[in-house]
A and B are shown apart, each in its own frame.
Chain A
């Protein structure tokens, strides 16, 4: 058999492509339910982690309803009913303008305190980055933050997903004294005020991505959250 004939080459290429495609699509479809379940649990785990409840992925499903008391979707600074907040595809939403977005919001209660958990999504150097930040009731103080990424370089950009970077955000403010949103300034070296954190050496673009992502995603929420917090606190004082 002459393996260098044109007809053989075509046959070989065709068969190889079909075999490989069949193999990979079979693997992808049979494994999909397991992968989706893993992602769902991880999302619950990250949301809990942003309010400093550290659980394993297996425990997340169990503990999630204990802490997350309400899930809602904010659009045009109002609650938009009829949408499952947990299933909102943030990848699509962040492409829309801040007003048009259907932005999911999770309201958590822990030790008698109320927190707003906000999912955020943006771009790093090599691909998407995302995370969850939790705000205290004053709508300005960050309680916790978790970040994750798809393809940032280990040791450089990927350091945003480490505790050393994430814990810096705790207690920082996102609103200035007059209540305007300024976000968090991720900077080089001299982070000193309550609006600043240290960036990652060698991960400048990813660090800037974190800064941009926080500011961009928070804009959809702030007016709504202020109203929400105000009604909640007056309702609370009436009781």
Chain B
């Protein structure tokens, strides 16, 4: 009898030990990987990564959304692959290895889309080059995936792509609305408001030009830092 109790206790003890060493998939630490890039560790406004594409493709909302989705896919998959290979990658050629992984991934996806969903591929092909050169991808592979396990790297990829996408969409929202008077190509500002139709309004052509994207990102950084004082540098 006593032996049985002892055995039971031992089994329970063992179970406790294993649960202790195995971290739950969505532990607090892992959830932070997703939530941090939204605000405290946003790739664009705090890490200052991926600015170039934020300037290039935010004239309209639709391409911004497409870009955000494609970056999410490439970043998550690239992070997982590099993380799986992290113990085998020779240190001296690690950047080239990362670049090859990302480029191969992007080209592969583009080829598959071109064969089976041609319309989507036409929309995306413009971004292929931009995705490969997007500093967020290389930045996260280098800073995170090389030193973390695949699941955490996956979450980090998703989180950062979300944080990047949200800024992209905010910038594109203002640029398209004020620059073209439309959202997703649909006319939002009524025709009767325009000066040509006897109104008072005229589209701000400056919003369509890249400098205005930079200024919009600057305003977002300003608003964010004034709300989140943690981010203010001494």
Chain A residues proximal to chain B, CB less than 8 Å? 3-4, 8-9, 12-13, 16-17, 20, 23-24, 27-28, 31, 34-35, 38, 42, 57, 150-156, 158, 201-202
Bound CA–CA A8/B93 (angstroms): 11
Chain A residue nearest to B96 in the complex (CB): A13
Interface majority SS (helix, strand, loop, mixed), chain A: helix
Nearest CB of chain A from residue B188's CB, rounded to whole Å: 16
Contacts between chains A and B (CB distance < 8 A), count: 83
Most buried by B among A3, A8, A16, A150: A16
Is B116 positioned at the interface, with any CB of A under 8 Å from its CB?
yes
Nearest CB of chain B from residue A65's CB, rounded to whole Å: 22
Bound CA–CA A156/B175 (angstroms): 12
With A24-B107, A35-B114, A38-B115 known to touch, is A154 a contact of B90 (CB < 8 Å)? no
Instruction: Report whether B107 and A12 are in contact in the complex, using a CB–CB cutoff of 8 Å.
Output: no
| Chain A hits for B125, CB < 8 A | 150-151
- Option from A13, A24, A31 in Cβ contact (under 8 Å) with B93: A13
Instruction: Report whether B108 and A3 are in contact in the complex, using a CB–CB cutoff of 8 Å.
Output: no
Instruction: Report whether B91 and A3 are in contact in the complex, using a CB–CB cutoff of 8 Å.
Output: yes
Instruction: Report whether B115 and A34 are in contact in the complex, using a CB–CB cutoff of 8 Å.
Output: yes
- Option from A27, A57, A202 in Cβ contact (under 8 Å) with B108: A27
The contact string, 1 if C-beta is below 8 Å from chain A, for chain B 54-68, is: 001111101100000
| Chain A hits for B126, CB < 8 A | 151-154, 158
- Option from A8, A35, A154 in Cβ contact (under 8 Å) with B59: A154
Bound CA–CA A86/B87 (angstroms): 53
Bound CA–CA A111/B97 (angstroms): 59
Instruction: Report whether A154 and B92 are in contact in the complex, using a CB–CB cutoff of 8 Å.
Output: no
A-B contacts, 9 listed (Cβ < 8 Å): A3-B91, A8-B90, A16-B100, A20-B104, A24-B104, A35-B111, A155-B175, A155-B208, A201-B208
Nearest CB of chain A from residue B112's CB, rounded to whole Å: 7
Is B199 positioned at the interface, with any CB of A under 8 Å from its CB?
no
Most buried by B among A4, A17, A158, A202: A202
Nearest CB of chain A from residue B67's CB, rounded to whole Å: 9
Nearest CB of chain A from residue B200's CB, rounded to whole Å: 20
- Option from B57, B63, B116, B205 in Cβ contact (under 8 Å) with A34: B116
Chain A residue nearest to B67 in the complex (CB): A154
Nearest CB of chain B from residue A25's CB, rounded to whole Å: 10
With A27-B111, A31-B114, A34-B115 known to touch, is A155 a contact of B60 (CB < 8 Å)? yes
Chain A residue nearest to B66 in the complex (CB): A154
Chain B residue nearest to A57 in the complex (CB): B118
| Chain A hits for B87, CB < 8 A | 3
- Option from A8, A27, A153 in Cβ contact (under 8 Å) with B56: A153
